Amino acid sequence: MATLTVREALSQALWEEMEANSKIILLGEEIGVWGGTYAVTRGFHDHFGAERVRDTPISESAIVGAAIGAAMTGLRPVAELMTINFAFSAFDMIVNQAAKLHYMFNGQVNLPLIIRTPSGGGRQLGATHSQTPDAIFAHFPGLRVVAPATPRDSKGMLKQALRQNDPVLFIENATLYQQRGDVPDGDVTVPLDKSVLARAGKDVTLVTYSKMYYATMKAAEQLAAEGIQAEVIDLRCLRPLDMEPVVESVKKTNRAVVVEEGWMSYGVGAEVSARLQSECFDFLDAPVKRVAQAEVPLPYNQRLEQMALPDQEKIVRAAKEVLYV
């Protein structure tokens, strides 16, 4: 067992898989000579060479489109988009090409490609650079959407993604790259379709993923100090969405709060809530509560931005609301 940052975990996953499989190539802006804007690929250009670690022009559609073309013809490209906010510039490529071609061509074409990109706000980057639009991408059948929180899951899910044949939107979080955690030594893989129980409890179920995992775990600690045992489920994957551990938990706790960094409307919380009411309606003792971002474009001002984002305190409050305490 080693303690790694998310950055190191992602970097190791890519490095190890690239050493093992020459079909893997990387492409994106500033991933080569610069070493990656979040330094995930630092050292890769020197070690693997410019043919495998390809600096691209600022052309998001061409980056994702080239990855699709390369994947169709036998490579395993990993396209890096500097932020998920730039993924809108490649939206058609992601949701209309990557997500469609395998089905539309009746399984004759595989698209083993990964699009890595950081999501999330809280860094005073203003409205256009601070979004958490994860749910939008999870709307499309044919695209796997994952968003690990921990270094272990980051490494394991990236390695898993590099060994399967579907397009994967691999959502990272810009504020989590320095987050530390235990990662097992040796080869580690984590499935791309399984939610996980992150903390056991009996009083209320907190469902979350990615960055909000940490605020939720802290909220659970705070609640524990007040005598409330919260169970925490880390979704890890948004499509396909594994509801089994969530439903199992809610059948026990009878109460649920869904926590996400993105906006509430049409979001992950909306989906999880809808599925809970259809899958375990009779077990619910309170309406499912959602904690999410205020429905405004995020402002630059630090105090205003933080007001808009979900945090530990808002999660604790929501948990108490569904417990009527």
Q: Which residues does the annotation mark as catalytic?
A: 60, 129
Which C-beta is closer to another protein: that of 150 or that of 160? Answer: 160
Which C-beta is closer to another protein: that of 3 or that of 96? Answer: 96
Nearest distance, CB of residue 285 and another protein, angstroms: 30
Which residues, listed in sequence order, are joined to residue 171 by a DSSP beta bridge? 117
Which C-beta is closer to another protein: that of 109 or that of 125? Answer: 109
Instruction: Out of 1, 51, 185, 324, name the contact with another protein by CB under 8 A.
Output: 51
CB burial readout 118-143, b (16+ within 10 A) else e: bbbbbeebeeebbbbbbbbbbebebb
Sequential DSSP letters for 253-320: H--EEEEEEEESTTSHHHHHHHHHHHHHGGG-SS--EEEEE-SSPPPSSHHHHHHHS--HHHHHHHHH
User: Site residues for another protein, window 84-103 (CB under 8 A)?
Assistant: 92-93, 96-97, 101-103
Q: Interface with another protein includes 56 (CB under 8 A)?
A: yes
Cα–Cα dist 259/286, whole Å: 16
Structure tokens at 153: 């899951």
Among 9-17, 74-82, 209-217, 293-301, the segment contacting another protein (CB under 8 A):
74-82
Instruction: Out of 28, 36, 65, 156, name the contact with another protein by CB under 8 A.
Output: 65
Structure tokens at 8: 């190191």
Is residue 94 a contact partner of residue 60, using CB atoms and an 8 Å limit?
A: no
Among 3-11, 66-74, 262-270, 280-288, the segment contacting another protein (CB under 8 A):
66-74
3-state secondary structure of 129: helix
Nearest distance, CB of residue 111 and another protein, angstroms: 8
Q: Interface with another protein includes 240 (CB under 8 A)?
A: yes
Among 129-137, 195-203, 237-245, 280-288, the segment contacting another protein (CB under 8 A):
237-245
Nearest distance, CB of residue 99 and another protein, angstroms: 9
* Spatial strand order in the sheet of 76-80: 53-55, 24-28, 76-80, 114-119, 168-173, 144-146, 237-239
Q: Interface with another protein includes 19 (CB under 8 A)?
A: no
Instruction: Out of 4, 6, 64, 232, name the contact with another protein by CB under 8 A.
Output: 64
Nearest distance, CB of residue 42 and another protein, angstroms: 22
User: Site residues for another protein, window 153-192 (CB under 8 A)?
Assistant: 164-166
Residues contacting another protein: total by CB under 8 A: 48
Phi/psi at 7 (nearest 5 deg)?
A: -60, -50
C-alpha dihedral sign at 197, 198, 204, 207: negative
Alpha helices for the chain (secondary structure H): 6-20, 44-48, 60-72, 91, 101-104, 134-137, 151-161, 212-225, 244-253, 268-280, 302-308, 312-322
Q: Interface with another protein includes 67 (CB under 8 A)?
A: yes
Structure tokens at 14: 């890519």
Cα–Cα dist 67/27, whole Å: 8
Q: Interface with another protein includes 109 (CB under 8 A)?
A: yes
Which C-beta is closer to another protein: that of 109 or that of 286? Answer: 109
* Residues in touch with another protein (CB under 8 A): 25, 27, 51-52, 54, 56-57, 59, 61-62, 64-75, 77, 92-93, 96-97, 101-111, 141-142, 144, 164-166, 193, 239-241
